[in-house]
Structure 1
Amino acid sequence: MNFTGKAVWEGEAEGKALVSEDPISFLGGVDSETGEIVESGHQLEGKSLKNRVLIFPHGKGSTVGSYVIYQLALNEVAPAAMINQISEPIVAVGAIIAEIPLVHKLNRNPIKNIENGNRISVKGKNVRLKK
């Protein structure tokens, strides 16, 4: 299955999907040293972002979250790529400064069409669900 969207930060990456219906707050919701979701009650609480294709609707919270995304990359625990339904400035700036491929506004809802563990490739504005 192929998806096309708009690339916020173009790049190429591949990894297993980590999907959330919940928005993510990177400031306070993600441990920048381990890459683990630490927000209490979050759908992905306890899961690691490292090398995953992180799929979530959008970010939330403080603009400092952009720098948490950058810190994840510096600590080598960042997602391989991110996919949003609609990206907002927090996630967009974080992806750009961390050089993490980010695609949003896909032609199909990725949260409804991709499951945790599916193998996903991202290339520019194109997302592919691999078999």
Structure 2
Amino acid sequence: MILQGRGISRGVGKGPLLIGPDPISFLSGVDPETGIVLEPGHPLQGQDISGSVLAFEYGKGSTVGSYILYALSRNGHAPAAIINQEAETIIAVGAIMGKIPMVDRIGIPLSDLKSGQMVEVDGTTGNVTMIE
């Protein structure tokens, strides 16, 4: 199955889908040295986002979150790609700086996707391909 979204950050990333049902704050919410979600009470707390296709509604928090995404990329712990329901500036800028492919507006609720499924995200075309 191929979903058509809006390309935000160019490039192609592939990995297992990791769905975060709540918005994510990267500043103090994700460790840039390990890729572990630290935000207390977040449904992904304790999970490693490294190499995943990270799907979440939108980002929240400080503009410094963009630099955390860049640091995750520099440290080898960035997600392979990002899918947002609706991109906002903090996450979009971080994805672009960190060269993390990103799309939004894929036409279905993120909750309809299955965590763990292999997914390829093309941030240039906006395509999200579910891999059997």
Cα offset for 1:45?
Answer: 0.3
SS, match of residue 14 in structure 1: strand
Q: Going by fraction, where is helix more abundant, 1 or 2? A: 1
Q: Distance in 2 between matches of 1:24 and 1:107?
A: 21
| Residue aligning to 1:119 | 118
Q: For each residue in 1:20-70, what CA deviation from the matched residue of structure 2 results, as whole angstroms up to 9, or x when unmatched?
A: 110000001000000000001100000001000000000000000000000
1:1-131 matched pairs, under 5 angstroms: 1-109=1-109, 111-123=110-122, 124=124, 125-131=126-132
Q: For each residue in 1:63-87, what CA deviation from the matched residue of structure 2 results, as whole angstroms up to 9, or x when unmatched?
A: 0000000000000000000000001
1:114/1:129 contact within 8 Å kept: no
Q: Distance in 2 between matches of 1:122 and 1:40?
A: 29
1:86/1:105 contact within 8 Å kept: yes
Q: Distance in 1 between matches of 2:26 and 2:91?
A: 9
Aligned identity (percent) is: 45
Q: What TM-score does the superposition give when structure 2 sets the normalisation length?
A: 0.96
Q: Which amino acid aligns with 2:39?
A: E
SS, match of residue 73 in structure 2: helix
SS, match of residue 129 in structure 2: strand
Q: Pairwise CA RMSD of aligned residues?
A: 0.8
Q: Distance in 2 between matches of 1:47 and 1:115?
A: 16
Q: Structure 1: which 4+ aligned runs deviate by more than 3 Å?
A: none
Cα offset for 1:129?
Answer: 1.1
Q: What TM-score does the superposition give when structure 1 sets the normalisation length?
A: 0.96
Cα offset for 1:113?
Answer: 2.1
Q: Distance in 2 between matches of 1:112 and 1:65?
A: 24
